[in-house]
Chains A and B, each alone.
Chain A
Amino acid sequence: MSSVAVREEAGGRIAALRVSSVSFHYGDLTALDDVSLVVDAGQVNVLLGPNGAGKTTLFSLITRLLQPRSGQIEITGRALTSHTREALGQLGIVFQQPTLDLDLSVAQNLHYFASLHGISRAAAQASIERELGRLNMLDSINRSVRRLNGGHRRRVELARALLHDPQLLLLDEPTIGLDIPTRREFVENVHALASERGVGVLWATHLIDEVDLALDQVTILHRGKIQASGAAHAVMQEKGFQSLEDLYESLTSAGGEA
């Protein structure tokens, strides 16, 4: 923290993620148009949108794989452009596509990631055991990733995203390809993380049943524009829909905007 300028909300609260008026274009194609959203600490914000809505572009901007042409992104109050290192240090990510090295063991994969964050080997070992233990994966620590099933690989990726104790977790369609019980377990794990550790979570998906209507925030993105955002139940009430599926269908069909 120390010397880094951190923007606090009124009341001393710092948002885990603040995206302000961000736009991005691929040539003539507008991928994101004036997108703003906030993820508070301990909050799960489910980013819903069909394929091509701009979810992956938004994630690429938050992870600084791409640079926004306009707007600003702050992670725990640190601007991504001016305090890149501090901001990215607070970020844990599970990408849509698996990124584990299949030839290496679980421990080797996790140690590699810890080194990318400059974590010492001893500290990394402690974090690895803690996170794998929490996800009931400690028995697999020395197994080759190639021998793990899809659900266990995803758990390892979640453990990896948490090794450096991030304040913001980005999940880019992490449950794609998982069976229903494994998906449910993954969703429960992430909600437990948010409530127990106060981690802010931005969860991109198009699987609406992953939203906890009572607890989660939702942001519906379509054709690069935010169509609705807020507490799931409040958004449904405001737009006059009984189910989130119907609201989503309505906002993301053709032109959007219910």
Chain B
Amino acid sequence: MSWWRCLMGITWRELLRFTHQRGRFFSALVRPLLWLLVFAVGFRAALGDSIIAPYRSYVTYQIYVIPGLVGMIQLFNGMQSSLSMVYDREVGSMRMLLTSPLPRWWLLTSKLLASVLVSVFQVYAFLLIAGLFGFVAEPIGYLYVMPVLLITGMLLGSIGMFLSSAIRQLENFAGVMNFVVFPMFFLSSALYPLSSMRENSELLYYLCSINPFTHAVELIRFALYVQWNVESLLWTSFATAVFLTLAVWGYKPDRGASARAR
């Protein structure tokens, strides 16, 4: 029961903080909307339309790119959340969390789940706006995708949490954008089908296909069309387990992650 109360408390706080940071909510939406409504229009001309699974007919580039942009929201939310953990650790509220008597793995998982919930709100707000512009998936797919968003959110959040355990100072976090976020995003199927990538570079295709973000995006893409991509589901679940374990390991007291900044 106390574990449940702890989870509820952390989630409630995260939602309260979210409501106090409306700027963060809108900026999280502006980025993917710019890609959808501006960048994708230009890219459409370059890439054209195509038929690939799970689509049953030709789709426009804007339709193709939506799952990638959903992944982008969750990727940036995961990084934003870990950025706030680095900050929290520096100003002390993370120390307060970690001195709770409940097991550390549970505290970190609860924090992660709370952050994922916020990202799910952002995703649905984005899907709603995209729908208003006429870019829609299967209606039932919007429900189908919800559990998938929890899994993909956990994956991207746990990567961020692991990184936050390894980063000593807030200033170093800028490097994460250059060395983690952008490579993860561009070396994936978010913006272009892997088949197109393969035509031009076998090496890049290989890198894309082992990138967990590619599988998160594909899982979302298939779920929006009421299908399960089993390979991506397995890959995403495996990567989530690995990164969550690494994150919990990173915050172990004998690693001293929570106090190294001092």
A residues touching B (Cβ–Cβ < 8 Å)?
A: 56-57, 60, 63-67, 84-89, 91, 93, 95-101, 103-104, 108, 111-120
* Chain A minimum-CB-distance residue to B98: A65
Question: Nearest Cβ in chain A — how far from B12, in angstroms?
Answer: 7
Q: Are A116 and B102 in contact (CB under 8 A)?
A: yes
Q: Known contacts A65-B259, A66-B253; is A118 also within 8 Å of B13 by CB?
A: no
> Which residue of A91, A97, A104, A113 is within 8 Å of B92 (Cβ)?
A97
Q: Are B5 and A66 in contact (CB under 8 A)?
A: no
Residues in A with CB closer than 8 Å to B254 are 66-67
Closest 7 CB pairs of A and B: A115-B9, A118-B2, A116-B100, A88-B101, A67-B254, A67-B253, A97-B92
| B71-109 at interface with A (beta carbon < 8 Å) | 91-93, 95-103, 107
Does any Cβ of A come within 8 Å of B146's Cβ? no
Q: Known contacts A103-B17, A115-B5, A115-B8; is A84 also within 8 Å of B92 by CB?
A: no
* Chain B minimum-CB-distance residue to A87: B101
Question: Nearest Cβ in chain B — how far from A1, in angstroms?
Answer: 15
Q: Are A118 and B6 in contact (CB under 8 A)?
A: yes
Residues in A with CB closer than 8 Å to B97 are 116
Question: Nearest Cβ in chain A — how far from B260, in angstroms?
Answer: 8
Does any Cβ of A come within 8 Å of B262's Cβ? yes
How many positions in chain B have a CB within 8 Å of any CB in the partner chain? 34
Instruction: Given contact pairs A88-B100, A108-B13, enumerate 14 new A-B contacts (beta carbons under 8 Å).
Output: A56-B262, A57-B262, A65-B95, A67-B252, A87-B101, A95-B92, A96-B92, A101-B13, A104-B16, A111-B9, A112-B12, A114-B9, A116-B102, A118-B5
Q: Are B95 and A99 in contact (CB under 8 A)?
A: yes
| B6-31 at interface with A (beta carbon < 8 Å) | 6, 8-10, 12-13, 16-17, 20-21
Q: Known contacts A98-B92, A115-B10; is A63 also within 8 Å of B99 by CB?
A: yes
Q: Known contacts A66-B259, A112-B9, A117-B2; is A101 also within 8 Å of B101 by CB?
A: no
Q: Are B96 and A113 in contact (CB under 8 A)?
A: yes
Does any Cβ of A come within 8 Å of B3's Cβ? yes
Q: Known contacts A65-B253, A115-B8, A118-B5; is A93 also within 8 Å of B99 by CB?
A: yes
Looking at A65, A112, A113, A118, which has the most chain B CB atoms within 10 Å of its CB? A65
* Chain A minimum-CB-distance residue to B90: A97
Does any Cβ of A come within 8 Å of B256's Cβ? yes
Residues in A with CB closer than 8 Å to B253 are 64-67
CA–CA, A5 and B10, complex, Å: 31
CA–CA, A216 and B80, complex, Å: 46
Residues in B with CB closer than 8 Å to A84 are 101
Residues in B with CB closer than 8 Å to A57 are 259, 262
Question: Nearest Cβ in chain A — how far from B81, in angstroms?
Answer: 15
Does any Cβ of A come within 8 Å of B132's Cβ? no
Residues in B with CB closer than 8 Å to A100 are 93
Question: Nearest Cβ in chain A — how far from B66, in angstroms?
Answer: 32
Does any Cβ of A come within 8 Å of B158's Cβ? no
> 23 A-B contacts, Cβ less than 8 Å apart?
A60-B258, A65-B95, A65-B259, A66-B256, A88-B100, A88-B101, A89-B101, A97-B91, A97-B92, A99-B91, A101-B17, A101-B93, A103-B17, A103-B21, A104-B17, A112-B9, A115-B8, A115-B10, A115-B12, A116-B97, A116-B100, A118-B5, A119-B2
Question: Nearest Cβ in chain B — how far from A170, in angstroms?
Answer: 9
CA–CA, A96 and B262, complex, Å: 12
Question: Nearest Cβ in chain A — how far from B103, in angstroms?
Answer: 8
Q: Known contacts A84-B101, A118-B6; is A63 also within 8 Å of B95 by CB?
A: yes
Q: Known contacts A99-B93, A117-B2, A118-B5; is A65 also within 8 Å of B99 by CB?
A: yes
Residues in A with CB closer than 8 Å to B2 are 117-119
Does any Cβ of A come within 8 Å of B1's Cβ? yes
* Chain B minimum-CB-distance residue to A88: B101
Residues in A with CB closer than 8 Å to B256 are 65-67
Question: Nearest Cβ in chain B — how far from A31, in angstroms?
Answer: 10
CA–CA, A65 and B21, complex, Å: 29
Q: Are B5 and A95 in contact (CB under 8 A)?
A: no
Q: Known contacts A65-B99, A95-B96; is A120 also within 8 Å of B259 by CB?
A: no
Looking at A95, A99, A100, which has the most chain B CB atoms within 10 Å of its CB? A99
Question: Nearest Cβ in chain A — how far from B227, in angstroms?
Answer: 39
Q: Known contacts A103-B20, A112-B12, A117-B101; is A93 also within 8 Å of B96 by CB?
A: yes
* Chain A minimum-CB-distance residue to B21: A103
CA–CA, A101 and B17, complex, Å: 9
Q: Known contacts A99-B93, A118-B1, A120-B5; is A112 also within 8 Å of B99 by CB?
A: no
CA–CA, A117 and B97, complex, Å: 10
CA–CA, A5 and B32, complex, Å: 56
Residues in A with CB closer than 8 Å to B107 are 116
Q: Are B100 and A117 in contact (CB under 8 A)?
A: yes
